[in-house]
């Protein structure tokens, strides 16, 4: 990113902070640099507004101001960056299984690596395929296959898929066989998805227990206190 751009924003945010969230925005599929400053400015302005609002109007003043503004700061970051990135990783890894299976079939049929990728992109229509389409579009504009894959890795938040793309790039350079490596990656992704599902299922009883506590205790108290309340109202 050009340090001379967005001079006002550079006075507010550290350069490292801008680069950090710029990279995260790329992981989410955003290429427009303005998105970074929209996120940072919104988070900052609303946090400051909440801080002074509760500082002035709340009975607890400074405690409420710090607590509410900090919670919004963290919650906004999670909702706008962390959670969407988590969902994007899951989506890309899910789509990668079919994408890589088709790529292996293409390579086994005798096609070269680039030919196999081109065929796979035509056959498969999912989120990972679209990212590879963008990489090949960059090649049409003059970038080499290696350079296109380097840029592609910067847009993929999954460490597993970054490793797959790196293996594809190295195989293209060395001219080796990548099919066995791709099969291992598919097995790894499938095992990871099974583990994620098991973890989600294991968390369900805990979530149900928490909900039951928050819903059950008020209901029990209402049943216990209902006669007293009715007697008070009638009397």
pLDDT in tens, 71-115: 999 999 999 999 999 999 999 999 999 999 999 999 999 999 999
Residues in the chain: 235
Three-state SS string over 71-91 comes to HHHHHHHHHHHHHHHHHHHHH
For 13, 32, 95, 229, the CA distances from 79, given in Å and listed in that order, are 21, 19, 23, 42
Instruction: Categorize the per-residue pLDDT at 2 as very low, low, confident or very high, splitting at 50, 70 and 90.
Output: very low
For residue 161, give the nearest of 84, 209, 93 by alpha carbon. Answer: 93
pLDDT at 131 over 80: yes
CB 111 within 8 A of CB 81: no
Greater confidence (6 vs 106) lies with 106
d(CA 25, CA 34): 10
Quote the DSSP letter at residue 219: H
Greater confidence (122 vs 205) lies with 122
pLDDT at 232 over 70: no
Virtual CA dihedral for 178, 179, 183, 188, nearest 10 degrees? 10
Token couple for 154: 């910067």
pLDDT at 196 over 80: no
What is the tens place of the pLDDT at every residue in 19-64? Answer: 899 889 889 887 666 788 889 989 999 999 999 998 888 777 788 8
CB 84 within 8 A of CB 102: no
CA 165 to chain centre: 18
- Residue 165's pLDDT is what? 93
Q: Go through 14-28 and write b for each residue having 16 or more CB atoms within 10 A of its CB, e for each that does not.
A: eeeebeebbebbbbe
Greater confidence (233 vs 181) lies with 181
Instruction: Categorize the per-residue pLDDT at 214 as very low, low, confident or very high, splitting at 50, 70 and 90.
Output: low
pLDDT cut 90: percent of the chain above it: 51
CB 121 within 8 A of CB 132: yes
Q: What is the average per-residue pLDDT within 178-203?
A: 85
**Low-confidence winner among 117-131, 150-164, 171-185, 194-208 (lowest mean pLDDT):** 194-208
Q: What is the average pLDDT value for the chain, to the nearest integer?
A: 84
């Amino acid at each position: 990113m050009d340090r001379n751009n967005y001079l006002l924003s550079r006075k507010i945010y550290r350069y490292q902070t801008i680069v950090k969230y710029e990279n995260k925005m790329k992981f989410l599929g955003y290429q427009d640099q303005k998105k970074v400053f929209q996120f940072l400015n919104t988070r900052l302005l609303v946090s400051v507004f909440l801080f002074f609002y509760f500082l002035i109007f709340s009975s607890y003043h400074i405690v409420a101001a710090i607590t509410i503004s900090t919670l919004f700061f963290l919650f906004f970051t999670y909702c706008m960056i962390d959670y969407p990135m988590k969902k994007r990783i899951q989506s890309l890894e899910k789509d990668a299984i079919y994408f890589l299976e088709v790529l292996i079939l293409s390579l086994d049929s005798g096609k070269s690596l680039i030919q196999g990728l081109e065929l796979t992109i035509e056959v498969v229509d999912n989120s990972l395929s679209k990212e590879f389409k963008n990489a090949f579009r960059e090649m049409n504009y003059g970038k080499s296959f290696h350079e296109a894959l380097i840029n592609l890795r910067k847009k993929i938040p999954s460490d597993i898929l970054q490793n797959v793309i790196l293996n594809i790039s190295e195989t293209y350079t060395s001219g080796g066989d990548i099919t066995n490596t791709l099969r291992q990656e598919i097995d790894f992704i499938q095992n990871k998805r099974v583990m994620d599902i098991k973890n989600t299922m294991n968390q369900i009883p805990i979530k149900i227990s928490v909900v039951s506590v928050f819903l059950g205790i008020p209901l029990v108290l209402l049943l216990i206190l209902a006669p007293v309340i009715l007697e008070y109202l009638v009397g």
